[in-house]
Amino acid sequence: MVQGPRRVRLTESGLPIEPVYGPDALAGWDPVERLGEPGAYPFTRGIHPTMYTGRPWTMRQYAGFGTAAESNARYRRLIAHGTTGLSVAFDLPTQMGYDSDAPLAGGEVGRVGVAVDSLDDMRELFDGIPLDRVSTSMTINAPAAVLLLLYQLVAEERGIPAERLSGTVQNDVLKEYIARGTYIYPPEPSLRLTADIFRYCRTEIPRWNTISVSGYHMAEAGASPVQEIAFTLADAIAYVRAAVAGGMDVDEFAPRLSFFFVARTTLLEEVAKFRAARRIWARVMRDEFGARRPRSLMLRFHTQTAGVQLTAQQPEANLVRVAVQALAAVLGGTQSLHTNSFDEAIALPTDRAARLALRTQQILAHETDVTATVDPLAGSYAVETMTDQVEAAATVLMTRVEELGGAVGAIERGFQKAEIERAAYAVARETERGDRVVVGVNRFVLDEEEPYEPLRLDPAVETRQKARLARLRAERDGGAVADALAGLREAARGTGNVLYPMKAALAARATVGEVCDALREVWGTYEPREQF
């Protein structure tokens, strides 16, 4: 009997998956060079010798909506349920450096995160939360310095020294030009601001992770796993180069760098992606930048399960998707994890859904055996082969970015954005044709969806925020604010670190929008160019 040609299944990155892998897949493969030991170069097997056998990853739930008071209540409940790290979602005006009463903020206040306009809001956001005992991550980019300084000011008001604060600011503006669009300033001053944050935290907040270079948002925009790590690592290289060019020694700041990746339902490729990313980064830091400290070579990363894969149809099925995605992150060796709530494709998560998302992590950590041994998939013929394939493909793509002038040069040509859009279009076409199965959407659908009551925001949030801003401007010393903002503009025109005058302005109760506007006056705003 003559059989037809075998259909080759491909990974999300377009790499072939063999139906069977055996020893020949790793012929000539040096386990010492490719794997090493856990906690040692090239860190393929994880950045710590014991990984989760000592303690599990940080369970960091992402939350924020409406007013600071409403978000504070959610944070307190998450901590009571066992969350070990907070992750703050800011609303769109805050992400873009606008106050809630700005004309462009209309209709967006408190919608996709919490509105933070001033020191007053930050104070209320973290009321009753022990900032010296809770690690806080802030998903904020162009205004990252502003929000970090507000956090520091709140801690200082409570008598907490800055050296006891721990957490992360995302502070990855390059990916905003590629995937999200919440940029403010052009790339060059944005890189300067990033380097200023590195220098400031080295002296003032030494335990703070000064950047979380993000592939997550590229993945949400449609990037494949290979594109996700290639473009993310290329951005990270640009940040390191900027810091080194500014006179910093790489080993002074590299240990505080961190990354942020997605975890999809394609478990094997995701595990391979995380392992390949660690190996590439260790090599780049050693060979290009001459880093000497082992911690400078470690790719430490946070993971969030894939929001883009959640469906509004049959939302309870998202619980299964999130569990598989979370398992991929854990098997891949993440340092912290956020699990999405099953109802996020419909609206902001309800308390019940957020609690179930956290319980998913707790079950993985305490009811399975994946934490009993380090890197349980090491030596798998399939996983090791896929790790090599992802590494090779990502390296080729990173070389292409270099040929275009590095991350900034490629961004200005529209290269990364165009590549991601092509990948996203291909996935959309596969889904429309039914070649890619999405349960509940194009296969196994229901004739009628069951009703679900989402969380609804109070429409008066924007009105209340505007009233708070009006009171703040009436009560504060306007002359002191004006003087402080003038000092910030002067620093932006020079070469000194802008975070010190920025902190003085915020302490005088300047608003987030006023601080960002002062920098807009000096640095201008970014205007995207034609695509590659």
Domain presence at residue 197: yes
275/6 Cα distance (integer angstroms):
29
521 lies in a domain? no
Contact present, 341 and 357 (Cβ < 8 Å): yes
Strand partners, 62: 87
Q: Cα separation of 316 and 341, whole Å? A: 10
The token pair that represents 397 in the structure block: 């793509």
Handedness of CA 100, 105, 111, 113 (dihedral sign): negative
Residue 265's SS3 state is: coil
CA distance 78 to 59: 10
Cβ atoms of 117 and 468 within 8 Å: the answer is: yes
57 part of a folded domain: yes
Is 14 within the bounds of a domain? no
From first to last of its 532 residues, the chain has per-residue pLDDT tens of: 445 455 679 999 999 999 999 999 888 888 888 899 999 999 999 999 999 999 999 999 888 888 999 999 999 999 999 988 899 999 999 999 999 999 999 999 999 899 999 999 999 999 999 999 999 999 999 999 999 999 999 999 999 999 999 999 999 999 999 998 999 999 999 999 999 999 999 999 999 999 999 999 999 999 999 999 999 999 999 999 999 999 999 999 999 999 999 999 999 999 999 999 999 999 999 999 999 999 999 999 999 999 999 999 999 999 999 999 999 999 999 999 999 999 999 988 989 999 999 999 999 999 999 999 999 999 999 999 999 999 999 999 999 999 999 999 999 999 999 999 999 999 999 999 999 999 999 999 999 888 888 777 788 899 999 999 999 999 999 999 999 999 999 999 999 999 999 999 999 999 999 999 999 999 999 988 766 5
Residue 210 · residue 201 · CB < 8 Å: yes
Confidence at residue 1, expressed as pLDDT on a 0 to 100 scale: 44
Q: Which domain holds residue 365?
A: 41-369+377-433
Per the domain annotation, does 529 fall within a domain? no
Q: Extract the tokens encoding 25.
A: 């897949």
Q: Specify the DSSP element, H or E, that contains 531.
A: none
Q: In what order do the strands lie in the sheet with 85-89?
A: 208-209, 167-169, 135-139, 85-89, 58-63, 336-338, 301-305, 257-263, 211-214
Residue of 367, 298, 382, 295 whose CA lies nearest to 330: 367
pLDDT of residue 438: 96
The answer to whether residue 351 is domain-embedded is yes
What secondary structure does DSSP assign to 195-255, as a single string?
HHHHHHHHHH-TTEE-EEEESHHHHHTT--HHHHHHHHHHHHHHHHHHHHHTT--HHHHGG
Domain for residue 183, yes or no?
yes
Assigned domain for 204 exists: yes
Give the other-Cβ count within 10 Å of 95's Cβ.
25
pTM for this model (two decimals): 0.93
Read off the CATH number of the domain in which 166 is found.
Answer: 3.20.20.240
Q: Which of 264, 355, 291 is nearest to 61 (CA)?
A: 355
Computed from CA positions of residues 302, 307, 309, 315, in that sequence, does the dihedral angle turn out positive or negative? positive
Q: Is 337 helix (H, G, I), strand (E, B) or coil?
A: strand
- Looking at the structure of the chain, the number of domains it has is 1
**Residues 6+ positions from 269 with CB-CB distance below 8 Å:** 11, 12, 13, 15, 225, 386, 390
- C-alpha to C-alpha distances, 406 to 194, 402, 411, 415, nearest whole angstrom: 17, 4, 8, 11
